[in-house]
Amino acid sequence: MTTRIQEIRAEILNLYDPSNLRLKHGILATLEFNGDLDVSPEELDSFIIDTSDEEIQPLISFIVAAWDADAKNVTPQPESAPKTPERMAWVLDRLGISHLAEAIEKRLPNPEPMVIVEEDFRDWYTPEREKAHSSYWDDYAKMLSRNGWDAVSVDTVSEQARQVMRRIEDPTAEHYSSTRGLVVGYVQSGKTANFTAVAAKAIDAGYRLIIILAGTLDNLREQTQRRLDKELFGKEAVLDGRTVEHMDARELRQESYFVNDEEWDRSGNEPGGVFISHGPNVGDMWFPRIRRLTTSRQDYQGSKSGVNPIEFFVPQPDKPTYHPDNLAAMPCMVAVVKKHSGVLKKLNSNLQQVGNRDSRFKDLPVLIIDDESDQASINTKNNTKVDAKEEKERTAVNGQITQLLQNCPRAQYVGYTATPFANVFVDPSDPEDLYPRDYVLMLNEPPAYRGATWFHDRADFADNPEEATVENSQSKAFIRDLEEADPFGPEEFDEVRSTELAECLDMFVLTGAIKKYREHHSPGLVFKHHTMLVHEGVGNDIHADARFKLDDLWRKRGYNLGRPIPEMRSLFEKDLLPVMRVARYNEGYKVPETYEELMPFILEAYEEIMSDVIGSRTPILQVDTVGNDSPNFEIGRVWKVLVGGAKLSRGYTVEGLTVSYFRRKAGSADTLMQTGRWFGFRKGYQDLVRLYAPPSLVEMFEAAMHDEEVFRDNVKAYAHTGSDNKPLLTPMKLAPMVRQSLPDLSPTAKNKMFNAYMVSSPCAPHPMEFNSLPERNNKEALAENMTTVGLPLLSRLDHEPTELAYFRLEGQRSGSVKPSAGTTTAHIGTIPAPEFLELFAAMQWYGDDKEGNYRADIVAPRIKYLQGLIGTGRHHNPEQSDFAEVAIILPSPQRARGTDAYKNTVTLPGIDFPVPLVKRSRRENRHDITGTDRKYTYILENIASGRPCTEPRDEDLHEFSSMLHYTPNDTPEPFDLDSPIARARGAVLVTVFDDRAPDVIAAMNASGTYVPPAFDKGEIGLALAFNSPHAPLGAAPDSIEWAVRFTAPDGTTPISVETTEE
């Protein structure tokens, strides 16, 4: 049922359009006369003060737009300047909410600044320089506003592009360097808009050749070409002085825009998508004509009939090419090319020809933008053993990109990606390669973006007494578990898969019907596209099989018969309706309350889905080289089911995606994240989005997401200057920031990691879990771990448990933050750091007998770092060591009510108390166990940072004081906090669990014959989570490991660079 808040939000969303800034009347009067809602002053005040940020967003967007706009774009025109306190006061007064100025100010967007890791640079892109020539940016900004971007979003993309421009070279400067940079966004988060903004500002500034490297497949290149033609290059560039009426057949075939393309035909005054037109001033000084070297249908073709398509001339030959007088009068060439060695070879050949013919070409300012720069661009040939005097062997595409940089000496290279791991593993010593040696910009998540952190929150509830519900968990609301394929035989699994696909089709039709229902009840709301994605692998055979099965299911279902379908009714009532009723998902859109109310729209959705289906075909499209179906999201409406793999993953936007059936497993985190086509912006139908996937795959997404979050957090933690006013982190030191939480899910493909290896790394500021244990059948190794490591650690613990304090936040991703604080119990003790390191080094792990194993990649670098804290350089004196002792924490689960005994314990030799067993389980098809309760990671962090562990941090209690019911703990602090050792103390959580097979334990419990596991028989698992002392991070941040090989100065042997203090 729609709430009052939803009604007010929907009415404000309808009446206050940031692209139409009319402030003739106050909000209450506007709602009364132009809307259908009678709102009292008290209700409006409550809406502004008490609602969530998401609910008030439409009003805030309008206020910011009016505050930011030129006076001529506001009715009535204000006398105050944009972005001033006077303008804000005027806006609030016109809206009749001046008395709420303080509340409004708190609601105004205050985005975190971008994280920028960089070397020194010459800052040439001043505000004066930016404003001097801005024709292409101004027109692009207007296009973004037309497309529904609010003022905050336009300002954000402008600032992001501005930061890139500051770090590339001044195109008019005599002295220059060829920079390498990287911009890191999020999957499906609008990177194209970001680099389009950079291209616009670069053209305005004087760059006269823009090369966009647009993925490896034709469909992505064509999608990118169209976006740029439509929103930046414009009709003038496409027509190139011609008219459609006077084009010959060959010219018409070069473009896909001239026949039945509604966006090309539409005028700028009509609603809907439109191709930008820059007007008659194109070609004037500093408003260069755009000359396209590629078209909507044709990638770069190279010379034809001996004619080089790259035209280069210098208007004033007596001045350098880069002189402002020359750049002002030159056209700008643009090429949107596929990352294919054949295509790039043609481009390089023509560039080389021009350079050989006219030496002044080397001074042409060139910008190369590499979309999805971690794919294909990276040199994946292992050259670490190649003599430096030899030319390094390169992958074909990488070789052609580096050749581009050689042919265009003034070229600036900017890579864009959402998964940067491969980029930071490139050889940084190779001056011709693509390592982002000059700068890395980490973009923030856009406000309305729904990405991995939003969808995947199951881990938040792993050790949380609060049950996950559709109200507090996005995973519960939007992810539906599929059966794992492993337990089934082929025929049985085929039947399971058919049942799953049938439900997905029902969901696709139902959500399409709800979109039609919303269009009917919300004038102006249009869902141009509605799609379902089926992605099970990259092979054409599996695509064909899925298409055949879906064809059969579609024909038999009878969606067009107008009769109730019981399974659809159940799906609507039990799945869709509960989620649609949650305000923060629904965003105020109307909800059908019964299946009967929706039924007429099911037929309407069916007719839309089948509207352009020919003959006996179904709406199932096979998007691969065999099916050859290719949905055109730009021309007409696409309401279809898409079956495919590679063509529907990296970089390619599946418009209107609502239902995803996903089974493809990837071998690396970056590949997996790039397949998440359900990430992005879903205005008007976020509450309808569903992901169907097996739990193991969902867990892999959560692990990949966690690794990405840790990378971003680590970069942010070090992205500032030290006491010497030099940056603690430079682009050359990014590789150590990458983390791998699953042994079988590497950050990127192994052929992109040949330069990468860990040397030394802390387990801080966040604890690191070491839980890649020997397999269950390796009883000898498991028994050895308990004997050589577990018993010595446990022998140092106190007999009685101690109360320790925790604090944690739940619901951060849901937007409904719930803090909790309290105490938990644990047996505690200490051990000198050298002894702990000996025990840690003795642990056995999964894959110890394999090359590139967990011990070498994950454990050894941490041991090396800790050894350095104990005894290298100035730390030779143990009393001055940065790592002196380790606090040991053994969780003690709640005792059974009314008893002094734990539910499950084990008696171990030399330990004078029953050792509690915690509940941990091995993850299927992986080599690790489920994670650590965050109550204990909070305790570890407090100890390792020298804080008390019997009370939560003051800042946590203060910030959430009104929401907490915490009773102070009177337990004495168990660890010395006054001596220097407090800054040199690490903390380890020891997890001891019953590692017998779950069915064996279940059978014993059911029959009442449970017996404790035997440690000497390898029935007990031992895992560790460790947090190294935090103090050394601030004192010696350069002691982080160096993780990329360099070539030795003599060019013979690869060496590693490690930073140590003497």
Reported as a single tens digit per residue, the pLDDT across 330-377 is 999 999 999 999 999 999 999 999 999 999 999 999 999 999 887 777
Say what the pLDDT of residue 1048 is. Answer: 35
Tens of pLDDT, residues 1032-1044 = 876 444 444 434 4
Distance of alpha carbon 794 from alpha carbon 819, whole angstroms: 32
Give the tokens for residue 14.
């309808």
Tens of pLDDT, residues 107-162 = 777 666 677 777 788 899 999 999 899 999 999 988 988 887 777 788 889 999 99
Say what the pLDDT of residue 461 is. Answer: 72
Say what the pLDDT of residue 343 is. Answer: 96
pLDDT beyond 60 at 534 = yes
Give the tokens for residue 680.
């992005």
Enter the pTM of the model.
0.72
pLDDT beyond 60 at 636 = yes
- DSSP 3-state assignment of 481? strand
Cis peptide upstream of residue 76 (ω within 30 degrees of 0):
yes
Tens of pLDDT, residues 254-305 = 899 998 888 999 887 777 789 999 999 999 999 999 999 999 999 999 998 8
Q: Which residues lie closer than 8 Å to 1051 by C-beta, 6 or more apart?
A: 387, 388, 389
Return the percentage of the chain with pLDDT > 70, whole number.
Answer: 86
pLDDT beyond 60 at 99 = yes
pLDDT beyond 70 at 965 = yes
Range from 16-20, 42-46, 868-872 that averages highest in pLDDT: 42-46
Say what the pLDDT of residue 175 is. Answer: 87
pLDDT beyond 80 at 786 = yes
**CB-side exposure of 572: number of CA atoms within 13 Å?**
23
Quickly state the pLDDT bin for 539 (edges 50, 70, 90): confident
Q: Which residues lie closer than 8 Å to 371 by C-beta, 6 or more apart?
A: 191, 192, 195, 212, 213, 214, 215, 224, 416, 651
CB 1041 within 8 A of CB 864: yes
Written as one string, the DSSP assignment of 713-777 is HHHHHH-SB-TTSSBS--GGG-GGG----STT-BSS-GGG-TTB--------SS-EEE--PPPTT
Distance of alpha carbon 412 from alpha carbon 367, whole angstroms: 5
Say what the pLDDT of residue 963 is. Answer: 79
Q: What is the torsion angle, in degrees rounded to the nearest 10, for the CA atoms of residue 185, residue 190, residue 191 and residue 192?
A: 170
Say what the pLDDT of residue 391 is. Answer: 43
Give the tokens for residue 206.
């004087």
Say what the pLDDT of residue 54 is. Answer: 66
Range from 41-45, 455-459, 603-607, 856-860 that averages highest in pLDDT: 603-607
Burial class (CB in 10 A: 0-12, 13-18, 19+), 251: middle
Say what the pLDDT of residue 1055 is. Answer: 30
Angle of CA points 221, 223, 226, to nearest 5°:
105
- What strands, in cross-sheet order, belong to the sheet with 620-623? 479-481, 690-693, 657-662, 529-535, 638-644, 620-623
Distance of alpha carbon 115 from alpha carbon 439, whole angstroms: 10
Burial class (CB in 10 A: 0-12, 13-18, 19+), 554: buried
3-state helix, strand, coil in the chain (%, to 5): 40, 15, 45
Say what the pLDDT of residue 1040 is. Answer: 41
Burial class (CB in 10 A: 0-12, 13-18, 19+), 196: buried
Quickly state the pLDDT bin for 897 (edges 50, 70, 90): very low
Question: How many Å is the Cα radius of gyration of the chain?
Answer: 31
CB 332 within 8 A of CB 209: yes
Closest listed residue to residue 100, CA positions, set 59, 39, 45, 27? 45
The residue among 44 and 306 whose pLDDT is bigger is 44
Least trusted range by pLDDT, from 66-80, 85-99, 331-345, 701-715: 701-715
Burial class (CB in 10 A: 0-12, 13-18, 19+), 864: middle
Give the tokens for residue 1034.
């601030």
Going 45 to 49 to 50 to 55, the CA torsion angle's sign is positive
Tens of pLDDT, residues 542-588 = 899 999 999 999 999 999 988 899 999 999 999 999 999 998 888 78
- DSSP 3-state assignment of 988? strand
Task: Report the mean per-residue pLDDT for the chain.
Answer: 85
Say what the pLDDT of residue 198 is. Answer: 98
Tens of pLDDT, residues 978-989 = 989 999 999 999
191-205 vs 151-167: helix axis angle to the nearest 10?
60
4-15 vs 53-68: helix axis angle to the nearest 10?
20
Say what the pLDDT of residue 1049 is. Answer: 37
- The full set of domains in the chain, from first to last, is 4-107 (no CATH), 135-383+398-442 (3.40.50), 452-702 (no CATH), 762-802+823-965+974-1055 (no CATH)
Closest listed residue to residue 378, CA positions, set 388, 390, 370? 370
Least trusted range by pLDDT, from 330-334, 666-670, 679-683, 1021-1025: 666-670
Say what the pLDDT of residue 1059 is. Answer: 29
Number of neighbouring beta carbons within 10 Å of residue 721: 10
Give the tokens for residue 531.
């799609």
CB 596 within 8 A of CB 828: no
Tens of pLDDT, residues 469-482 = 998 888 999 999 99
Distance of alpha carbon 350 from alpha carbon 309, whole angstroms: 8
Q: Calculate mean pLDDT across residues 39-50.
A: 90
pLDDT beyond 70 at 491 = yes
CB 157 within 8 A of CB 196: no
